[in-house]
């Protein structure tokens, strides 16, 4: 087959064409959501830009640049970078376990000069890239072949293993969900899926017994009965529910949320930012936000199904699903439906790595959109 | 070159189908999230709104200043002073409470016991409730804490109020003390003030009896607080009502004299106004420092108090129950005149003993007193005279008069826990022992032994009633919150004036006629003479050997086995004004109780508190409540 896939592209685009072709509606949507998040950070700081809102704004602007740059880079370039990115992310992940910085009782950061890097965040995107790359050439039948499936599962399993020993249960779950979703979308046979689901169902009690850390078990126990320790570990869940519930139909109004302003909610600016929306804008505001998120996801699915190459489709859908899993886990967590796991709300929670990786993800999604007409032969390895 | 080959086509359709399926699943999850929001915000919104308000708004109680306690001339005997203290808020102690306590311990002295107590209190309270770590700090210690404050997260210096008893142990059995609230206290008393960490309530004496009056009503401040309990702003304020002041009938000067005169003996003494029953002084020694209980008593100190055989914690005035001994003889004498038995011609002959059946009752004086009339019987405290008189009277008549004179029932003094003493009756013995009352029982009672018991307070009431002839009862509280405690003038006793006059004459002879048992200890200054009645209460049975060869001298016995010495007296003889009852437990020979009573009565008469105008009522200071956080 052709060894120079770039030459086989139906057409190449100039940079101006690419910028014209960016789905600016989606960018606007993302900007609206992020602006809402910045407003919330302004609110939880007691009506001040310092210390979070302004910093978050600058991160968002950097993210926006990254998005546009990533969008204008040919999707085949991303394809070529898929495996190297995966390798680098894996190395960083191992490095964080070896020499990581202990924060919040878990090893999650690595210092790269002045930048505090969270390799597990990088890994999510890299895994989506690498799996899309790997599955790109595989037909429906190929995917279900034991060897291919084994390779795919190893690609998912290795980073999952390193993230779970950090320990970071939330991100592990997202990595597993992202990876398995891609295998599913690539056409994995139900003959594999059905027994796998059954196996997971039996593995949960075993994991409880042998894998989960004490603090993770404690979170689950507290979740099941938050009032048992209302001043201790149950505090977050109880106070989050109070914050959201007290918003009522239309909320207490901007800057009037008492739960977060009076510090009843720890982590109010990061994982629990959604509670402030619930408190200040009520049911109406929260549902409106969910609708905005849903529209973003709708765009994502639309972009994925509109792309002409399997790599692009899988990449777009993987990014979209990754975004969705963040929302789902964080949403269920702050509303007290699942135990507390450290997953931020994308675009809203304060934090650099999360914001930049989410924006980079959207950049890749946008690249798929811009290059939706690009066809990539099944056995192509990208451009470079 | 076919880019969309067959295989790719099938991949595409699978991908699209499955993507749309996942889109459906994602919509479902959004539906779940929206449903949960509905549940939290619409269905249960009101409930969560309330909880958020509960979080936000803190009702902070303001402890009102406790009422003061004055003597009859306005001397402050219990008041409030500034209490420099250090509070700790668990949630603000960023390095943990134990670390915080260690750091505080480097600035001011903290014992391990104190730290343990603070940790226990912290565990009982919510994380944002400030808990006292150390109280009653010196100004220097307090300044040091303030200086180091930047390095002490969660520490709040605070100026509160604490109870102070300036006269220490002198008045402890009257005033009692305040101490920390116990879980039992909270069971019966639901005043929210009790929940304030470090709050003190009255535990004994007047402090306990009048606790609700002294305490006042807590004010409240509705404040918005953050999660650490730090106040953001005040939303509303409700002033409390300060506790009311109390004026006692006590004269602190006399009280001081009495306490000093009793010294280290295990003793009790009461001085009363015979016309009204007002208590001018009342002491039980040894006492203890009430401030100890307020500040917090150490286990060693507590053991010292409970193991002392002089029983400092016991208010012997009303909680000590003793056989009245010969101080009961005036009651028998009264009954004898009332019953028409002891006419002026009535005589009893004493030859040292009398017999009933095969039992011999001995007089304290070997060889006897010869023939005596009623006054002579009292003067000599002749046992045979009263054995015989009691036998002829029968227990019923003695019981009747004893009850009239105030024995056998609590006197109703305004203090908690008064004992009632005991006056036996036929019916009681039948019921209690299933045996009929015996003449021998009556004879024992005739000299204040046997089943008869009294408290020193009842003895004071007995002598006051004999002296005034009025049916007075003891009173300690003169005014509450500026309002005098109203009391009607006491009616005359339901006894013949003649019987009272003859008993008073007998008691006069005790002290003022040569040969009287207290003649050697009389008040010699003209116009101040006292009348009295001595008594001895046995704490052990005398052996037959002792009856034959004389009772072993007290001085030769172990302290615990010595007799109690008792004395009741009033003065001046001509116009009785003050009465005194005094008991020295296991007193040595030489009648220390009589000497004490004599000195006390002389001092009291010379000072004459009843002749001085009592303090003009001072309105309770209406100070604003000090915030207690």
The SS3 of residue B146 is helix
Sign of torsion over alpha carbons A277, A278, A284, A289? positive
Per-residue confidence (pLDDT) for residue A342, from 0 to 100: 80
How far apart are alpha carbons B297 and B289 in whole angstroms?
10
Cis bond before residue B47 (omega within 30° of 0): no
Choose the final residue of a domain: B226, B248, B270: B248
B566 plus B423 within the same structural domain: yes
Query: What pLDDT, on a 0 to 100 scale, did the predictor assign at position B620?
Result: 35
Q: Taking the domains of chain A in order of start, what are their residue ranges?
A: 5-370
Residues 258-277 of A with CB under 8 A from B: 258-259, 261-265
* Cβ neighbours around A367 below 10 Å, total: 29
Fill in the DSSP letter of residue A52. Answer: T
- Give the pLDDT mean for B183-190: 86
Residues B349, B364, single domain; the answer is yes
Give the mutation candidate from B41, B46, B128, B228 for the A interface (greatest A CB count, under 10 A). Answer: B41
- Does B126 contact A231 at a Cβ distance shorter than 8 Å? yes
How far is it, in rounded angstroms, from Cα B593 to Cα A17? 118
- Cβ <8 Å between A249 and B30: no
Tens of pLDDT, residue by residue over B96-149, are 888 888 888 888 888 888 888 888 888 877 777 778 888 888 888 888 888 888
- The residues of B assigned a catalytic role are 326
Whether residue B188 sits in one domain with residue B82: yes
**Residue-wise DSSP of A286-318:** HHHHHHHHHHHHHHHHHHHHH-SSHHHHHHHHH
In a domain, B30, yes or no: no
| Least Cα separation, residue B88 to chain A (angstroms) | 17
Interchain pair B10, A181: CB under 8 A = no
Is residue B127 less than 8 Å (CB to CB) from chain A?
yes
The answer to whether residue B50 sits within a structural domain is no
Residue B516 C-alpha from the chain's centroid: 37
Question: Which residues touch B541 (CB under 8 Å, ≥6 apart)?
Answer: none
CA distance B128 to B136: 23
Contact A249/B224, CB-based, under 8 Å?
no
pLDDT digits (tens, 9 = 90+) for A271-319: 899 999 999 999 999 999 999 999 999 999 999 999 989 999 999 999 9
Is it true that the peptide bond before A51 is cis, omega within 30 degrees of 0?
yes
Mean confidence (pLDDT) of chain A: 85
Give the Cα-Cα-Cα angle B286, B289, B291 (nearest 5 degrees): 165
Q: Does B226 touch chain A (CB under 8 A)?
A: yes
Both B376 and B502 in one domain: the answer is yes
Among the ranges given (A47-61, A152-166, B235-249, B319-333), the one the predictor scored with the smallest mean pLDDT: B235-249
> Rg of chain B over CA atoms, in angstroms?
36
> Running DSSP on this structure, what letter comes out for residue A257?
-
SS3 B391: helix
Greatest alpha-carbon pair distance for chain B in Å reads 155
CB contact under 8 A, A294 and B26: yes
Q: How far apart are CA B472 and CA B466, in angstroms?
A: 10
Is the pLDDT at B168 greater than 60, yes or no? Answer: yes
- Is there a single domain that holds both residue B555 and residue B466? yes
Nearest-by-CA chain B residue for A292: B30
On the question of pLDDT at A222 being above 70, the answer is no
Closest residue on chain A to B30 (Cα): A290
pLDDT at residue A227 in the model = 56
Most confidently predicted of A137-146, A319-328, B139-148, B581-590: A319-328
Residues 244-263 of B with CB under 8 A from A: none
Question: Do B628 and B163 meet the contact criterion of CB atoms below 8 Å apart?
Answer: no
Contacts of B521 (CB under 8 A, 6+ apart): B511, B591, B594, B595, B598
| Residue that wins the pLDDT comparison between B333 and B196 | B333
pLDDT in tens, A244-272: 999 999 998 898 888 877 777 777 888 89
Q: Residue B540: inside a domain, yes or no?
A: yes
Bridge partners, residue B353, by sequence: B362
Mean of pLDDT values over B47-64? 81
Q: What is the mean pLDDT of chain B?
A: 87
- On whether both B202 and B146 belong to a single domain, the answer is yes
Please check whether residues B430 and B505 belong to one and the same domain: yes
The Cα-based distances of B131 to A337, B91, B140, B341 in angstroms read: 36, 11, 21, 71
Percent helix, strand, coil in chain A, to 5, is: 70, 5, 30
- Domain boundary among the residues B224, B248, B272 is at B248
Contact B65, B80 (CB under 8 A): yes
What is the pLDDT, as a whole number, of residue A104?
A: 47
Q: Which of A176-190, B354-368, B496-510, B598-612 has the lowest mean pLDDT?
A: B354-368
Contact A335 B36 (CB under 8 A): yes
CB A68, CB A30: distance < 8 Å? no
Is A110's pLDDT higher than 80?
no
Collapsed DSSP state (helix, strand, coil) of residue B226: coil
Residue range(s) defining the domain that contains residue B272: 252-286+317-480+490-611
Domain count for chain B, please give it. 2
B179 and B263 in a single domain? The answer is no
∠ CA B244-B245-B251 to the nearest 5 degrees? 160
In this model, does residue B265 exceed pLDDT 50? yes
pLDDT number for residue B171? 93
Q: B124 — contact with chain A (CB < 8 Å)?
A: no
Measured between beta carbons, the chain A residues lying within 8 angstroms of B33 are 290, 328, 331-332, 335
Provide the pairing of β-strand B200-202 with B178-180.
antiparallel
Partner residue facing A246 (CB), from B5, B51, B226 = B51
Domain CATH code at residue B111: 3.90.1310.10
pLDDT (mean) for B349-369: 88
Measured between alpha carbons, how far is B421 from A247 in angstroms, rounded to an integer?
68
Residue B83 contacts residue B159 (beta carbons within 8 Å): yes
Q: How far is A62 from chain B (nearest CA, A)?
A: 29
A316: closest chain B residue by CA: B19
pLDDT at B5: 59
Contact call for A290 and B33, based on CB within 8 A: yes
CATH number at residue B406: 3.40.710.10
Question: Does B41 contact A247 at a Cβ distance shorter than 8 Å?
Answer: yes
Q: What percentage of residues in chain A have a pLDDT greater than 90?
A: 51
Contacts of A9 in chain B (CB under 8 A): none
Average pLDDT over residues B434-462: 93
Q: Is the ipTM of this complex over 0.85?
A: yes
Q: State in Å, rounded, how far the first CA of chain B is from the last one.
A: 83
- The C-alpha of B102 sits at a distance from chain A's nearest C-alpha, in angstroms, of 23
pLDDT the model gives residue B278? 92
Alpha carbons within 13 angstroms on the beta-carbon side of residue B564 total 28
- Measure CB to CB from residue A139 to each of B7, B48, B126 and give the nearest one: B7
- In chain A, what is the straight-line distance between the N-terminal and C-terminal CA atoms, in Å? 16
pLDDT at B233: 73
Render pLDDT for A320-356 as a digit per residue (tens, 0 to 9): 999 999 999 999 989 988 877 888 999 999 988 889 9
Look at residue A99 in the predicted model and tell me its pLDDT: 64
Model pLDDT, residue A265: 76
Higher pLDDT, A264 or A142: A142
Confidence of residue A114 (pLDDT cuts 50, 70, 90): low
Residues B375, B267 share a domain: yes
């Amino acid at each position: 087959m052709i060894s120079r896939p770039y030459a086989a592209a139906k057409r190449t685009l100039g940079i101006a064409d690419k910028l014209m072709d960016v789905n600016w509606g989606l960018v606007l949507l993302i900007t609206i959501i992020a602006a809402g998040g910045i407003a919330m950070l302004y609110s939880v700081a007691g009506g001040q830009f310092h210390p979070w809102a302004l910093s978050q704004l600058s991160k968002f602007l950097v993210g926006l640049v990254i998005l546009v740059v990533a969008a204008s880079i040919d999707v085949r370039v991303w394809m070529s970078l898929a495996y190297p990115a995966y390798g680098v992310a894996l190395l960083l992940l191992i490095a964080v376990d070896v020499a990581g910085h202990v924060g919040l009782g878990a090893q999650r950061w690595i210092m790269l000069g002045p930048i505090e890097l969270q390799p597990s965040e990088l890994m999510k995107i890299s895994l989506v890239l690498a799996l899309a790359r790997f599955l790109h050439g595989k037909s429906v039948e190929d995917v279900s072949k034991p060897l291919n499936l084994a390779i795919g599962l190893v690609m998912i399993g290795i980073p999952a293993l390193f993230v779970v020993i950090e320990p970071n249960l939330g991100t592990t779950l997202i990595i597993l969900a992202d990876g398995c979703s891609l295998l599913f979308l690539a056409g994995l046979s139900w003959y594999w899926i059905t027994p796998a689901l059954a196996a997971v169902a039996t593995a949960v009690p075993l994991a409880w017994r042998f894998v989960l850390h004490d603090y993770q078990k404690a979170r689950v126990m507290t979740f099941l009965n938050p009032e048992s320790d209302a001043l201790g570990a149950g505090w977050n869940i109880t106070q989050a529910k109070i914050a959201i519930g007290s918003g009522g139909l239309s909320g207490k109004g901007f800057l009037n949320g008492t739960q977060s302003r009076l510090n009843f909610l720890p982590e109010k600016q990061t994982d629990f930012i959604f509670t402030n929306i619930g408190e200040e804008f009520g049911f109406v505001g929260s549902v409106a936000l969910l609708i905005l998120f849903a529209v973003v996801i709708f765009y994502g699915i639309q972009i994925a199904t509109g792309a002409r190459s399997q790599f692009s489709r899988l990449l777009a859908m993987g990014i979209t699903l990754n975004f969705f899993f963040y929302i789902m886990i964080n949403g269920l967590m702050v509303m007290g439906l699942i135990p507390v796991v450290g997953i931020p709300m994308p675009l809203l929670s304060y934090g650099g790595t999360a914001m930049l990786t989410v924006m980079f993800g959207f950049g890749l999604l946008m690249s798929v959109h811009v290059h939706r007409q690009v066809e990539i032969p099944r056995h192509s390895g990208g451009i470079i | 070159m076919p880019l969309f080959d067959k295989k790719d086509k099938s991949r595409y359709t699978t991908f699209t189908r499955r993507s749309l399926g996942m889109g459906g699943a994602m919509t479902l999850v959004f539906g779940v999230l929206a449903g949960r929001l509905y549940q939290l915000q619409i269905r249960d919104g009101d409930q969560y709104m309330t909880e958020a308000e509960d979080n936000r708004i803190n009702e902070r109680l303001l402890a009102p200043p406790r009422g003061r306690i004055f003597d009859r001339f306005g001397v402050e005997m219990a008041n409030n002073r500034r209490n420099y203290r250090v509070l700790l808020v668990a949630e603000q102690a960023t390095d943990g409470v134990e670390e915080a306590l260690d750091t505080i311990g480097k600035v001011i002295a903290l014992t391990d016991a104190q730290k343990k107590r603070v940790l226990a209190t912290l565990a009982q309270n919510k994380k944002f409730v400030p808990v006292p770590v150390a109280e009653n700090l010196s100004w220097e210690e307090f300044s040091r804490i303030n200086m180091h404050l930047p390095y002490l997260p969660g520490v709040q210096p605070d100026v509160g109020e604490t109870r102070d008893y300036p006269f220490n142990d002198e008045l402890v059995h009257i005033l009692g003390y305040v101490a920390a609230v116990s879980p039992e206290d909270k069971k019966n008393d639901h005043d929210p003030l009790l929940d304030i960490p470090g709050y003190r309530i009255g535990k004994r004496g007047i402090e306990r009896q009048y606790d609700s009056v002294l305490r006042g009503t807590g004010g409240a401040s509705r404040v918005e607080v953050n999660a650490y309990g730090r106040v953001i702003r005040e939303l509303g304020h409700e002033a409390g009502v300060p506790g009311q002041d109390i004026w006692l009938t006590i004269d602190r000067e006399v009280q001081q004299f009495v306490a000093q005169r009793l010294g280290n003996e295990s003793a009790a003494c009461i001085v009363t106004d015979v016309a009204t029953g007002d208590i001018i002084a009342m002491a039980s020694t040894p006492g203890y420092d009430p401030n100890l209980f307020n500040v917090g008593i150490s286990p060693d100190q507590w053991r010292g108090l409970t193991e002392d055989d002089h029983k400092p914690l016991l208010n012997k005035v009303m909680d000590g129950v003793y056989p009245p001994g010969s101080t009961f003889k005036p009651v028998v004498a009264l009954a004898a005149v009332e019953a028409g038995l002891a006419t002026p011609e009535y005589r009893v002959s004493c030859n040292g003993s009398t017999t009933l059946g095969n039992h011999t009752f001995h007089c304290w004086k070997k060889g006897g007193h010869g023939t005596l009339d009623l006054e002579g019987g009292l003067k000599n405290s002749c046992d045979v005279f009263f054995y015989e008189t009691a036998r002829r009277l029968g227990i019923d008549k003695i019981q009747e008069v004893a009850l009239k004179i105030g024995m056998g029932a609590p006197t109703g003094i305004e203090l908690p826990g008064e004992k009632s003493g005991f006056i036996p009756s036929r019916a009681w013995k039948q019921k209690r022992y299933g045996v009929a009352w015996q003449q021998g029982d009556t004879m024992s009672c005739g000299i204040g032994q046997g089943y008869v018991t009294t408290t020193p307070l009842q003895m004071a009431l007995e002598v006051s009633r004999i002296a005034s002839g009025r049916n007075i009862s003891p009173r300690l509280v003169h005014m509450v919150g500026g309002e005098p405690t109203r009391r009607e003038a006491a009616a005359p006793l339901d006894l013949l004036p003649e019987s009272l006059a003859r008993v008073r004459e007998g008691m006069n002879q005790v002290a003022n006629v040569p040969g009287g048992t207290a003649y050697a200890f009389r008040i010699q200054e003209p116009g101040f003479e006292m009348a009295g009645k001595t008594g001895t209460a046995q704490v052990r049975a005398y052996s037959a050997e002792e009856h034959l060869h004389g009772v072993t001298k007290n001085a030769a016995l172990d302290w615990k086995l010595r007799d109690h010495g008792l004395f009741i007296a009033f003065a001046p003889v001509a116009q009785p004004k003050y009465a005194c009852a005094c008991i020295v437990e296991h007193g040595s020979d030489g009648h220390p109780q009589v000497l004490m009573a004599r000195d006390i009565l002389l001092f009291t008469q010379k000072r004459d508190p009843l002749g001085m105008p009592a303090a003009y009522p001072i309105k309770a200071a209406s100070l604003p409540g000090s915030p207690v956080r």
